[in-house]
Amino acid sequence: MITQRQAQILAAIVKEYSQTGNPVGSEELVGRYHFPVSSATVRNEMQALEETGLIMQPHTSAGRIPTDKGYRYFINKLMHHLELTATEQRHLRQELLRLQREYLELGRSITKLLAEKAEGAAFAMLPESAVSTSGISKVIGQGQSRAEIQELAYFLDELDHCGKALIQKDMHEVKTYVGSEAPLPVKLSDFSLVVSKVRFPTGEQGMIGIVGPKRMKYARNISLVEYISKLLAGGLVLFIIFNF
């Protein structure tokens, strides 16, 4: 367990790091988030968070970044579910209504739409269609090593096999995997996944998801995947496909 103040500091570090990609220091937190304590007190709290394994110091700078354990704590206990605005929901419905009849075109359009809205890479495995991916260029080139990029490439190349490992039989909601949490033959140590099983009105099943850096905006990406999954499950797109 961590204190309320430590939880607030951890949430601020996750938010700041997701926006800038730079290690976060105590003075930066006090200045931006107006903690009613001195920067020395915040440094002490950050030291305590580091001892619990929730944050780490990547190099000799004073800044800290979240660890995989820190991201998991944030997602499970601190993150508020971010609902999409009515305007965003209407836009997503309108975009999906423009899809073509073919499942293949459906997969391509969904991944393109998800990648655009999530500012990351998206993937889909839908019935009677090839695997679809989009937005890969938005993910790579953000400081990953060659080995990390190869891990991502392998995952996307083998998505038809890797994807099955992500879909659990009792999966009823959007699932997040931080870093190496994902049950995959390759460890995406520098990336996170947001995945949802899709149950179509026809009884067939598929999967959609987002992959991006661990500092992704989890609340928004979870909401995006969740909403589009609900639209597909509700038959909105299938009605257009089979009655066009």
**Tokens for 29?**
């937190």
Predicted pLDDT of residue 27: 92
Per-residue pLDDT of 170-208, as tens digits, reads 677 899 999 989 888 888 888 999 999 988 877 888 899
Cα-only R_g, the chain: 19
Domain total of the chain: 2
Buried b vs exposed e over 136-174: b needs ≥16 C-beta within 10 Å?
bebbeeeebeeebbebbeebbeebeebbeebbeeeeeeb
| Residue 24 DSSP label | B
Rounded distance between C-alpha atoms, residue 121 and residue 75, angstroms: 20
Whether residue 67 contacts residue 19, with contact meaning beta carbons closer than 8 Å, is answered with: no
Rounded distance between C-alpha atoms, residue 179 and residue 34, angstroms: 31
Rounded distance between C-alpha atoms, residue 25 and residue 17, angstroms: 10
CATH code, 68: 1.10.10.10
- The residue type of 178 is V
Rounded distance between C-alpha atoms, residue 196 and residue 175, angstroms: 6
Per-residue pLDDT of 10-50, as tens digits, reads 999 999 999 888 999 999 999 998 889 999 999 999 999 99
**Tokens for 182?**
């994902």
Let me know whether 124 and 29 are in one domain: no
Let me know whether 60 and 129 are in one domain: no
Let me know whether 130 and 196 are in one domain: yes
Predicted pLDDT of residue 223: 94
Q: Is the pLDDT of residue 61 over 80?
A: no
Predicted pLDDT of residue 98: 62
Q: Which of 78, 107, 136 is a domain's end point? A: 78
Domain boundaries, position 121: 86-243
Let me know whether 54 and 152 are in one domain: no
Q: Nearest-5° angle of CA 17, CA 152, CA 53?
A: 40
CATH code, 154: 3.30.450.40
Global pTM? 0.81
Q: Which of 18, 45, 78 is a domain's end point? A: 78
